[in-house]
Structure 1
Amino acid sequence: MDELAEVIARDIPEGSFLNLGIGQPTKIADHLPAELGVILHTENGMLGMGPAADGDQIDPDLTNAGKVPVTELPGASYFHHADSFAMMRGGHLDVCVLGAYQVAANGDLANWHTGKPDAIPAVGGAMDLAIGAKDVLVMMTLFGKDGTPKLVRSCSYPLTGVGCVSRVYTDHGIFEVGGESVVVRATWGISVADLEERLGMPLATVA
């Protein structure tokens, strides 16, 4: 997923305030070009987060929301957890990148619960980000371990947000959602025809 993280990092608009969800999206921090001036926000109360910490850089008190040790950039600031969520809910973040269990063609997002009785729900700040960020991107594998598509016509899992996702980055390709149809922006190692068959839905391509 490091290659995909690098692809997403290049697509983040210059000067954005960006939040990265727990899991795969945190890798994006390691690939953001410094010249873009992107400022990373974490829901546990930090603005100006740098790449992941390593070796002597590790400070156990300095982590992202996923408890991964991180570095700080010049000008970094710290604040109360409640203030961090106020930033998220108040529309102050330009972009967030989240993981997902499912994303629907209309942009619906399901990433906190599979709906199974024995599943452990993991809401975190995803709902706040889904409604608060100006642009919501998703980074995920296109298919589950059992081969089931995670990009679907409509979500069967409990929703995190309605019509909030604009683009989905996966190991097989990049897709735009939320419009009249799902648009394929790029593919890797698979044809659009094969994707349509495996996903069970028609796909549009960029002219």
Structure 2
Amino acid sequence: MGLGIETRHLIARRAALEIRPNMIVNLGIGIPTLVADYIPNDHGVLLHTENGILGMGGSPETGMEDGNLANAGGYPVTILAGASYFDSATAFGMIRRGLLDVTVLGALEVSEKGDIANWIVPGKRVPGMGGAIDLAQKAKKVIVLMNHTDKTGAPKIVKECSLPLTVQEGAHMIITEKAVIDVTEKKLVLREVMHPYTVKEVLETTGAPLSLPEKVAVFR
């Protein structure tokens, strides 16, 4: 079952707290796109897109869309004062040089080691992997936003990914509708639970061991 709009925004709002002033950030398609709406304009954050924008803003108001201004997913966006435009080759040059502080992306599975599978389900047609591999390998911090379980209720956080990998040991943090989890070198650490879920519910629906700190915070 897909996530409701309120839950999607809850995840995006939590992810935005990981973005510090003056960072260069890339937001993926889906829930990550919503993160732009929760970054204060006075933070000096520069949002980067693979199709060639540095300085992207949040979503435009209904009726104020510019047909020539879109993110890499084709959705209308705004720009901030001082934004710049360039071609995709330059956009990917920035990524591959390691200039992005954070990338926020979706995933189909994440393993306990931080392996990410997010570009294909075997047997299903896809337009391509886009910038997923470059972003997941080169950004200084990779935050994954996704459902905690799939449509059948099976965990998407697993000991080992069963789907083709995008990157090995690439994820630094996972945020779902149930939890905020840090990916460390040795283990997954349950940092927060999302209201109204409990630690017990998170543990029961996670397919990999979670380490518990002395206190697990609740995010509302």
TM-score class, shorter-chain normalisation, is over 0.9
Q: Which amino acid aligns with 1:55?
A: T
Q: Aligned to 2:159, which of 142, 150, 153?
A: 153
Tell me the CA shift for residue 190 of structure 1. 2.9
1:195 is paired with a residue of what secondary structure?
A: helix
Structure 2 CA distance, aligned partners of 1:24 and 1:110? 16
Q: Does 1:85 align with 2:78?
A: no
Match of 1:48 in 2: 55
Tell me the CA shift for residue 119 of structure 1. 4.1
Tell me the CA shift for residue 41 of structure 1. 0.4
Tell me the CA shift for residue 203 of structure 1. 1.3
Which segments of structure 1 move beyond 6 Å, counting only runs of 4 or more? none
Match of 1:163 in 2: 169
Match of 1:57 in 2: 64
Q: Which amino acid aligns with 1:8?
A: A
Q: Does 1:3 align with 2:10?
A: yes
Number of positions where the alignment pairs a residue of Structure 1 with one of Structure 2? 206
Structure 1 CA distance, aligned partners of 2:114 and 2:178? 18
Alpha-carbon displacement from aligned partner over 1:30-85 (angstroms, at most 9, x marks no partner): 11112322110000000000111123431111000111111110000000111001
Match of 2:120 in 1: 113
Match of 2:5 in 1: none
CA RMSD of aligned residues (A): 1.4
Task: Work out the percentage of aligned pairs sharing the same amino acid.
Answer: 43
Using the size of structure 2 for normalisation, the TM-score is 0.89
Q: Which amino acid aligns with 1:123?
A: M
Preserved CA contact (<8 Å) 2:136 2:167: yes
2:92 is paired with a residue of what secondary structure?
A: helix
My pick for the range that moved more, 50-59 or 168-177, is: 50-59
Alpha-carbon displacement from aligned partner over 1:94-152 (angstroms, at most 9, x marks no partner): 000000000111111100012x2234364010101011111110011111111011111
Instruction: Write out aligned runs for 1:152-191 (5 A).
Output: 152-188=158-194, 189-191=196-198
Alpha-carbon displacement from aligned partner over 1:165-203 (angstroms, at most 9, x marks no partner): 100010001001142111001112333233223224321
Structure 2 CA distance, aligned partners of 1:94 and 1:54? 28
Match of 2:217 in 1: none
Can you give the 5+ residue segments of structure 2 that lack an aligned partner in the other structure? 1-7, 215-220
Alpha-carbon displacement from aligned partner over 1:4-46 (angstroms, at most 9, x marks no partner): 1111112212211000001110000011112322110000000
